[in-house]
Every structure is written in C-alpha cells, then in structure tokens.
Amino acid sequence: MSAAQCDQRIRRALVRHLQPLDAFALGNLSYLTWFNAGLRVYDVTNTRLPREIGYFMAGPPEKLYLKEYGPYVRMEDVLVDTRGYIYVTGGAQQGLYILRYTGPNKN
C-alpha cells in the first residue's frame, strides 16, 4: 500500500469516528447522535461557537436481542417534530425513545 493510500484510509477512519451519526436542526438548536455518546443538544445561535446545552444517555439494554452487539448504549437516529418532541433510536438493542427538550434556549 502506498503512502497516499494509507493516508486516505486514515482520513476516512477519522471522519467516521469524529462525525455524528445523525443530526437534526430546528431553530437555534441542533440535535446530534453520537453512538455511545448519546444524544447531544447544541445551541447554534452563534455558529462560530456552538455550545452544548443538553444531552440524553440511555442506560444499558435490559435484554440482549443480538449478542454480537454487546451490552452497549447506541443512539443512532434523531428527528424532532414541530411540537418539540425528539425521537431517538437506540440501535438494535434499545428501540425508540421519545423525549422533549426542556432546557434553556428553547425554540
């Protein structure tokens, strides 16, 4: 493998690791899922300095439906409706969470 190919593979791995899995913006709030780092809510009023203002971390799954996934928390997809309800999928082991943001800087 050439140095250029190796460099390209490293960049792709870093992008996969550092990018959120899913993101949704509504007004001045941005909602991001980060696999095992849960759901994060950012105030993006100042786009040059986003500020984390909330988060949700589910507990470990009560039952392992797929043993190969292990007992890990995963937040994968996020959608926010116009009423402010937040729908977050918890991966293959955890189902769907329905939340509502009640912190500062509401839309």
Amino acid, res. 95: G
pLDDT at residue 18, as a whole number: 46
pLDDT in tens, 30-79: 888 887 788 999 998 888 898 999 999 888 777 777 777 777 777 888 88
Instruction: Look at phi and psi of residue 105 and say left if phi exceeds 0, alpha if psi is from -120 to 50, else beta.
Output: left
Q: Which sequence spans correspond to the domains of the chain?
A: 20-100
Residue 1 — pLDDT band, cuts 50, 70, 90? low
pLDDT in tens, 69-93: 777 777 888 889 888 899 998 776 7
Comparison of pLDDT for 31 and 21, the residue scoring more? 31
pLDDT at residue 22, as a whole number: 66
pLDDT at residue 13, as a whole number: 46
Closest CA to 19 of 34, 31, 7, 30: 34
Comparison of pLDDT for 19 and 100, the residue scoring more? 100
Is the pLDDT at 98 greater than 90, yes or no?
yes
